[in-house]
Structures are given as structure tokens and as C-alpha cells.
Amino acid sequence: MPTLKTAKQLVVSSNKELVSLLLSQKLPLLKRAAKQIRRQRIEGLDQALAEALDFVMTKPRSLEAQNELILTIAATECTSLLPYLEELVQGNYSATVLYRSLALAIVYLQNKDKKKLSYVYSILESGNQNLFAGALLGLNQREVVLSHEEVQDFYSAAKHEVYLENFRQVISPIQVLVSMAYLFEVKDRQELICYCQELNSVFFSSIITNLNKNKKITYL
């Protein structure tokens, strides 16, 4: 059996290997490293993750690696990278799913120690479906408890036509909101369920099933 000192040395060595892969500028290698870091929740690699993301953001056809790195930054609590993420989300992306991942990471990290909803409120009227859905996903994954007033604010916005476009094909704000309704007051939960049933889409059936189990859908 390895001694405590030896075990620590193994961890340091393993982390060095992961950092090396992140900085390799080879998409398959850095993507593999990011997946391992996220799966094992290895913290303290903020700088290497930022450099890897900075590299892949300049590369076409690297959407999968971009998303993986952004989600890894969130999952491993890289709060030092919040300003960097807030800068990135201001960009113009043809792959609009990036807005969802970036907003998720921003809100998830902002709510590490206490509830902070300023960013979510700031994008309610953005008209960017992925951005709003991602922000709500950040709250969902952190299991932030919302007041009745906050639920109603987000619910009212999520019903705007622009946020319901293609809701059967994409992750929409209303889908995310109903998936976290197990955290809401009973009247808010029932209102959301009734609304989704009126939309008459099987898309919501599995969400409501999970909701009745009081379980979040793990995304990170």
C-alpha cells in the first residue's frame, strides 16, 4: 500500500500529465483530459483549462472540445475564470449552443457560495434562447432555491414566443425551469406542470417524471 506521501506524489504526477495534455494543442488529447478532469472533479487547474479553451476557441470544427472545456471549468469550480467567461459570452458564435454552455458556467460559478441572480435577470430580454436556458441550467445544477417572485419572473420570460421556438428540438428555458420545479413552492410547481401539459408535447413527459422523484437531471 502506498504511503500518504507517495499517494500525494502520484496525484501531483497525474495532474502534471493532465496539464500537459491540456496544453498539447491537439484536440483529441485536450478533450480527453478535460473529460477526465470533469469526471474526477479535479480542482486547481484553472490556468491550464483557460489556456486550452483560449486555443480551441480559435479553431473551426472544435465545438465539442469547446463545450467540454467550458463545462469542466464550471464543474471544477474555477471561479477565478469568471471574468474570462463573461468576456467570452459577449462574442458572436455561429454555433449558438456555446451561449448555453457559457451561461451555465457563469451562473453556476456565481452561485457557488450564495444565491446571485443578477446575470440571469440581465439576459431575460436578450431573445437568446440558448443564453437564457444556459443561465437557468446553472441554477438547476447548483440547485438554487428560488422565491415565488423569482420563479414568476423567470416563468413569465420563458413563455415569450422567442423562447418557445423549436422547443421540441432544443433545450428551452421553459424545459429547464420545469425540470427544477421540485425546488419550488407547490403552487409554482403545479402552474409550471399545467402549462407544459397544455403545450401538449411528449418532450416534457420524462422531465415531469423526474420532477415527481424530486431529482435534478445531471448536466455537469
Walk along the chain (220 residues) and give the pLDDT tens digit of each residue.
Answer: 444 344 334 345 679 999 999 999 999 999 999 999 999 999 999 999 999 999 999 998 899 999 999 999 999 999 999 999 999 999 999 989 999 999 999 999 999 999 999 999 999 999 999 999 999 999 999 999 999 999 999 999 999 999 998 887 888 999 999 989 999 999 999 999 889 888 866 667 777 777 767 777 788 8
Residue 145 in grid coordinates:
432555491
Q: Which domain holds residue 64?
A: 10-36+46-76
57, part of any domain: yes
Distance CA 173, CA 192 (A): 12
The total of structural domains in the chain comes to 1
DSSP letter for each residue of 143-207: TPPPPHHHHHHHHHHHTSHHHHTTTTTS--HHHHHHHTGGGS-HHHHHHHHHHHHHTT-GGGHHH
16, part of any domain: yes
114, part of any domain: no
41, part of any domain: no
Measure Cα distances from 169 to 29, 122, 166, 175, 203 in Å. Answer: 31, 25, 5, 11, 9
70, part of any domain: yes
Measure Cα distances from 199 to 110, 159, 175 in Å. Answer: 32, 11, 11
204, part of any domain: no
24, part of any domain: yes
32, part of any domain: yes
- Sign of the CA dihedral with 31 first, then 89, 163, and 178 last: positive
